[in-house]
Structure 1
Amino acid sequence: MPKISQKGMDMPASPIRKLTPFADQAKKEGKKIYHLNIGQPDIQTPEVMLNALKNIDFKVWAYTPSEGTASYRTKLASYYNKLNYNIEPTDILVTNGGSEAITIAMQACLNPGEEVIIPEPFYANYNGFACSSDIVIKPIMSHIENGFALPSIADFEKLITEKTKAIAICNPNNPTGYLYSREELEALRELCLKYDLYLFSDEAYREFCYDGREFISPMHLEGLENNVVVFDTVSKRYSACGARIGCLITKNKELYQTALKFAQARLSPSLEGQIAGEAAVDTPDAYFEAVSKEYTARRDTLVKGLNQIKGVFCPNPGGAFYVVARLPIDNADKFCQWILESFSYENETVMMAPATGFYSTIGFGLNEVRLAYVLNQEDLKKALVCLEKALEAYPGRKEGQ
């Protein structure tokens, strides 16, 4: 039999999706599962976006320009400029989801074997993107004790070598929900300018900032025009994960033209996705105000409930819709499988993502899980009861944690 490629062997499985077979089996057994494992909101997609899809009237389902349609990029530029990004439509490259934006940036900015520094825990698929792009992630540890704040600049500098080409952040962060401050971003700006590094900014959760806290993008900082690459997506902002429309934004014209070559190689982003995305820019502010209020309430319910369970610690995140919680367990992968495979309370159980998959450093996250507060508050409360009962029954419980 022909052999699988080494890259195929090295490609990591998704910690978010790898437990799906156990969830499917639990459902076959009649169990109800509270899905806190994946960032799939139950928030309704904006009506203007859905109506745009319903009213599509083209006669030929044609290719679009590799960089995206002019009308969509123009509309997107107006959205970002309301946020003071000061960009032109020609700074935007439309992609098939935010994932493609990240992959294209990695391939356009880094040579094989070169390195990007990323605070961990980080979005698990960064590992897969790096593997497919033949680049190396150099993790820098953030800690649950201080809510996963940005590591010190001195720690960043210790990792910088001649192979270092970029620093990447996700703000607000997936999986931790941490919201980086202006001071933290300004420190990163100085570091990137000092060592002439790209600064990748994954801003998929930009709209989800809580407690009146301010969102700051590297696009708001002076002097980084040729260093910043922003990744974005309609998936979370508009609760439209299936649309698979994202974008890459950069004012660096040489980088843009290089990224465009990779975009041309995959032909074009979807026409219908761009039609929906263009309409979505007209979503009224009231939609986001209501969504932010709902997510704040869900966060408060989940974080308070987790910290009331014996042995559990969960910091209060400033954004996104995730938390990373430390549990009194021996192994998160085993526990997350066990709670699906061997446990139920009143015929209900919970699906979570083991945090080990969000760390690049082996051995970390063994007693941590990521939970997405994408369900309504009543379901979150029921999920918390299941989790508490599961921790009481779990054979691998670690007392004193």
Structure 2
Amino acid sequence: MPKISQKGVQMPASPIRKLTPFADQAKKDGKKVFHLNIGQPDIETPEGMLNAIKNIDFNVWAYTPSEGTLAYRLKLTEYYNKLGYNITPENILVTVGGSEAITIAMQTCVNEGDEIIIPEPFYANYNGFACMSNVVVKPILSYIENGFALPPIAEFEKLITEKTKAIIICNPNNPTGYLYSRAELEALKTLCAKYDLFLFSDEAYREFCYDGREFISPMHLDGLDENVVIMDTVSKRYSACGARLGCLITKNKEVIASGLKFAQARLSPGMVEQIAGAAAVDTPDSYFEKVNTEYTLRRDTLVNRLNNIEGVFCPNPGGAFYVVAKFPIDDADKFCQWILEDFTHNNQTVMMAPATGFYSTPGSGKNEVRMAYVLNTDDLNAAMDCLEVALQQYPGRTV
């Protein structure tokens, strides 16, 4: 029998989705499963976005330009310039989801065998995208004890070699919810300028900042235009994960020109998605204000419930809609499978993502779990009721 590729062997499984067979079996067994494993919001997609799809009128469902339609890029320019990015449509490549923006950025800016520094825990698929691009991830640990704040710049500098080409941040962070401060971004700016590194900024959760905290993008920093590459998506902002529509933004003309060649190789982003995306830009601020209020309530509910469970510690995140919590358990992967496979409380259970998959450093995150507060507060409370009982019954409890 023919053998699969070495890359296929090395490609990591998603910690967010790998336990799906156990969740499916739990449902077949009649259990209600509370899905806290994946960032699929239950918030309604903006009405204007859906109406744009319903009112589409064309006779040929045609290719679009590889860089995205001008109409959509003009609307995106309107959105980003309202945020102070000062860009033109020529600074934008429309991508098939934020995932493609990340892979195009890696393939455009980083040679095979070169290194990217990423504070960890980080979005699990960075490992997969790096594997696809033959790029080496150099992780730098952040710690739950201080809420996963950015590690000191001196620690970044220790990792820099002649092979280092970029630093990736996700702000606000997935999986931790940490929101980087202006001071932290300025420190990264100084480092990237000193060593002439790219600064990739994954901004999928830009709209989700809480307690009046300020969102800062590298696009807001002076003197770094040639180094900054923004990677974005409509998935979370408009609760439109199924649209698979994102973009790459940079003022570096060489990156845009080279990235366009990768975009041309996959032909084009979808026409219908871009029509919906253009309409989404006109979503009123009241939509985001309502969503922000709801997520703040959900965050407070989840964090308070977790920290009231004996042996559990969960920092209070400043953004996104995730938490990483430390549990009194021997192994997060085993626990997250056990709670689906062997546990039930009132015929209910919980699906979570073991945090090990959000690290690259071996052994890290072994007693940590990521949860997405994408369910209403009644369901979150019911899920926490299940979790509290499960932690009491789990055979591998350590405290």
Aligned residue number for residue 196 of structure 1: 196
Q: Percent identity?
A: 78
Q: How far apart, in 1, do the equivalents of 2:291 and 2:54 lie? A: 24
| 1:92 lines up with 2:92 in the alignment | yes
Q: How far apart, in 2, do the equivalents of 1:284 and 1:345 lie? A: 41
Aligned residue number for residue 320 of structure 2: 320
| 1:294 lines up with 2:287 in the alignment | no
Aligned residue number for residue 143 of structure 1: 143
Aligned residue number for residue 45 of structure 1: 45
Q: How far apart, in 1, do the equivalents of 2:87 and 2:214 lie? A: 20
Q: Which amino acid aligns with 1:47?
A: E
Q: How far apart, in 2, do the equivalents of 1:10 and 1:276 lie? A: 37
Aligned residue number for residue 36 of structure 2: 36
Aligned residue number for residue 277 of structure 1: 277
Structure 2 portions without partners, runs of 5+: none
Aligned residue number for residue 22 of structure 1: 22
Q: CA RMSD of the aligned region, Å? A: 0.3
* Cα displacement string for residues 22-65 of structure 1 (whole angstroms, at most 9, x for unaligned residues): 00000000000000000000000000000011111111000000
| 1:166 lines up with 2:162 in the alignment | no
Q: Which amino acid aligns with 1:123?
A: Y
* Cα displacement string for residues 166-187 of structure 1 (whole angstroms, at most 9, x for unaligned residues): 0000000000000000000000
| 1:394 lines up with 2:397 in the alignment | no
Give the secondary structure class of the aligned counterpart of 1:237. coil
* Cα displacement string for residues 133-174 of structure 1 (whole angstroms, at most 9, x for unaligned residues): 010000000000000000000000000000000000000000
Measured after TM superposition, the shift of residue 389 of structure 1 is: 0.3
| 1:185 lines up with 2:177 in the alignment | no
Q: How far apart, in 2, do the equivalents of 1:202 and 1:105 lie? A: 11
Q: How far apart, in 1, do the equivalents of 2:387 and 2:240 lie? A: 29
Q: How far apart, in 1, do the equivalents of 2:389 and 2:59 lie? A: 56
Q: How far apart, in 2, do the equivalents of 1:212 and 1:255 lie? A: 34
Q: Which amino acid aligns with 1:216?
A: I
Q: How far apart, in 1, do the equivalents of 2:366 and 2:6 lie? A: 27
| 1:102 lines up with 2:102 in the alignment | yes
* Cα displacement string for residues 337-374 of structure 1 (whole angstroms, at most 9, x for unaligned residues): 00000000000000000000000001010000000000
Q: Which amino acid aligns with 1:110?
A: V
Measured after TM superposition, the shift of residue 92 of structure 1 is: 0.5
Q: Which amino acid aligns with 1:64?
A: T
Q: How far apart, in 2, do the equivalents of 1:166 and 1:276 lie? A: 33
Correspondence 1:41-120 to 2 at 5 A:
41-120=41-120
Q: Which amino acid aligns with 2:167?
A: I
Q: How far apart, in 1, do the equivalents of 2:116 and 2:396 lie? A: 36
* Cα displacement string for residues 276-306 of structure 1 (whole angstroms, at most 9, x for unaligned residues): 0000000000000000000000000000000
Measured after TM superposition, the shift of residue 68 of structure 1 is: 0.1
Aligned residue number for residue 261 of structure 2: 261
Q: Which amino acid aligns with 2:361?
A: T
Q: How far apart, in 1, do the equivalents of 2:255 and 2:384 lie? A: 47
Measured after TM superposition, the shift of residue 379 of structure 1 is: 0.3
Q: How far apart, in 2, do the equivalents of 1:9 and 1:317 lie? A: 35
Q: Which amino acid aligns with 1:323?
A: V
Q: How far apart, in 2, do the equivalents of 1:364 and 1:134 lie? A: 23
* Cα displacement string for residues 364-398 of structure 1 (whole angstroms, at most 9, x for unaligned residues): 10000000000000000000000000000000000
Give the secondary structure class of the aligned counterpart of 2:236. helix
Q: How far apart, in 2, do the equivalents of 1:321 and 1:59 lie? A: 40
Measured after TM superposition, the shift of residue 202 of structure 1 is: 0.1
* Cα displacement string for residues 50-100 of structure 1 (whole angstroms, at most 9, x for unaligned residues): 001111111100000000000000000000000000000110000000000
Measured after TM superposition, the shift of residue 213 of structure 1 is: 0.2
Aligned residue number for residue 303 of structure 1: 303
Measured after TM superposition, the shift of residue 236 of structure 1 is: 0.1
Residue correspondences, number: 399
Q: How far apart, in 2, do the equivalents of 1:276 and 1:14 lie? A: 29
Aligned residue number for residue 7 of structure 2: 7
Q: How far apart, in 2, do the equivalents of 1:361 and 1:393 lie? A: 29
Q: How far apart, in 2, do the equivalents of 1:120 and 1:61 lie? A: 42
Aligned residue number for residue 250 of structure 1: 250
